[in-house]
Structure 1
Amino acid sequence: MSIEEGLPAPAFELPASGGRTVSLAAMKGRPFVLYFYPKADTSGCTKEACDFQEALPALGGLGLDVIGISPDPMKPIEKFAEKYSLTFPLASDAEKTTAGAYGTWVEKSMYGRKYMGMERATFLIDAEGKVARIWRKVKVPGHAGEVLKAAKALG
């Protein structure tokens, strides 16, 4: 299934940091940012998470929550959230079912070797649970600001 702007976001329910559970159903009526990152506590993912943490007050002012998803098990996710005081939920998609539904579990290539991995991608989901905006192959610098700008445009 391909995911496109304007279509309903695929449903998900995952365990998240701080003993929480995140799901599309629980977010009903509230817009939110759903971002997929490859691995907890790596340089790019740390920068991205900290940028979203920094943007939280502004996003929260627009009524938006942030949810991060990686294929990591809960233990490294909890350590990562604690280490950088990340207050938004970081979810574990160890089965990669949510990543599969959002098309972010993809074939990657490094030094000519092909492998499956998480594509860094962000989805802006509106209050109706529809995909308002998609960013694929995200470059971390300035990304949170870009998402904030798009969130403001949601009105």
Structure 2
Amino acid sequence: MIHFIPEIQTKLSEIQSIAYIDEDTGQLDNYSPNFPVKWPCALIDISSVVFSDIGKDRKKTPINRQNASGDIVITVANLKLTNTSKLAPVGQKQHAWSIHEEIQNIHEKLQGFRIMENTSRLVRKRFRRTKRDDGVQQYEITYGIEATDV
């Protein structure tokens, strides 16, 4: 699992319009006007992993082998400082809603992406919005992954 975040970061870097791609270390939790990201951003986190034993292989270390089933969360965020009301200019609305294009671009890159030979392909499981009061649009996309012999 140590390779998951760098591999996903490399895959997402193929999307030129995302200005900042990194591991999620709480960059959006500060709620200050000076976030340590560029907009739009994609933050990667391994949110949970469940392990199950599958036996022993005395030729490997550790000898007890396991399967892992987990969730990888991509947090997509952008700063939205203008409204998108019915009377707002079209260009203003398109810019404010561009985060949804980024979400689609991310999904096109990650859905079915295999990080390593011993992993399943990524499969989208959940999508949710985080409501904020500081002008940041924030969404989380959760992908499921399984790995064998870990």
Q: Which structure carries more relative contact order (alpha carbon 8 Å, separation 6+)?
A: 1
Q: Which structure's CA Rg is the greater one? A: 2
The structure carrying a bigger strand percent of its residues is 2
Smaller-chain TM-score bracket: under 0.3
TM-score when normalising by structure 2: 0.26
Could you state the TM-score of these two structures normalised by the residue count of structure 1? Answer: 0.25
